[in-house]
Copies of this chain bind each other. A is one copy, B any other.
Amino acid sequence: MSGKPERYTIGLIQMRCEPEPAANMDKAIARLQEAAKSGVQIACLPELFLSPYFCQREDPTLFDLAEPIPGPRTERLAAVARQTKMVVIASLFERRAAGLYHNTAVVFDADGTILGLYRKMHIPDDPLYYEKYYFTPGDLGFRVFPTRFGKVGTLVCWDQWYPEAARLTSLKGADVLFYPTAIGWHPSEKAEFGQRQHQAWELIQRSHALANGVYVAAVNRIGHEGPAGGGLEFWGASFISDPFGTVAARASHDREELLVYECDPKHLEDVRRHWPFLRDRRIDAYGDITRRLID
């Protein structure tokens, strides 16, 4: 590590998303200000927090929700970061050009400058998660951002199922992987599969913490969106895993919450010394990872 490692406090803002973007922006700003008052130094909002999860249907008018980056909304968020001296990670629907859109995480440093963007690399397309219609897969690769308080990596939702994404972001030096997320249950499936689905989601992300010796912080929305009996019930359960895959903090399934946790670079160093997985990687033998199937 360079210099003396200092502890820093991260905060996850688990929220319900209202119908109107303006209301969500106001709520997010208020929560960010509360987080700063609670000592949070790096705060992360859920995926696409400015609107209901519009990917439940394919509708060309919904591209109106997208915005340029930088733009008026990133200016508002930048002002909050600057005012609170807090790093802010915000997931936005990016309009890059006419007909070209991304699902993008913006990282604001504690002085309000945009450190950079991460454009969601893995895009799902499953019933009620029709993201391939809206988002072009990211072309910026896997990214880390040297914020004032710590070096963080950003990944988004569906990325969480891919060990490669966590590995590459960690190899770039991330100490924390943030996963803004919008995942929930299909109400008709919840009774039979709901618990296993949530557990799988937590498990795969804890495994990234463990395999790479990094903190993982996943922040989800809550609430039901869509028609009664249909739609999606977002399962909340935002959580933070320590570098040994232990859940250090976990939010409820159904309440708005601020999850606060202090990350300790010394603990990360200690875990990696005792479980030195990075030492023994067979990089001479991993080349076929870039194949679709080895058939």
Contacts and interface: CB of A to CB of B under 8 A. Distances in A.
A172 interface: yes
Contact of A285 (B121, B210, B244): B121
A124 interface: yes
B282 A137 contact: yes
Contacts of A196: 244, 246
Contacts of A61: none
Interface string A241-262: 0001110000000000000000
A268 interface: no
Contacts of A122: 280-282
A142 B290 contact: no
A199 B210 CA distance: 11
Contacts of A163: 163-164, 167, 207, 211
Contacts of A124: 280
A275 B124 CA distance: 10
Contacts of A168: 285-286, 288-289, 294
Nearest to A132: B280
Contacts of A142: 285
A130 interface: no
Each complex incorporates copies of this chain amounting to 2
Interface in A7-48: none
Contacts of A246: 196, 200
A203 interface: yes
A171 B293 CA distance: 5
A6 interface: no
A55 to B, nearest CB: 15
A122 B290 CA distance: 20
A282 B123 CA distance: 10
Contact of A141 (B276, B281, B285, B295): B285
Given A203-B210, A275-B161, A292 B285 contact: no
A291 interface: yes
A1 B289 CA distance: 22
A47 to B, nearest CB: 16
B285 A171 contact: no
Contacts of A95: none
29 contacts: A121-B285, A122-B280, A122-B281, A124-B280, A141-B285, A161-B210, A161-B211, A161-B275, A163-B164, A163-B207, A164-B286, A164-B289, A165-B282, A168-B285, A168-B286, A168-B288, A171-B294, A196-B246, A199-B245, A200-B245, A200-B246, A203-B207, A203-B210, A203-B245, A204-B245, A207-B207, A278-B293, A283-B289, A286-B289
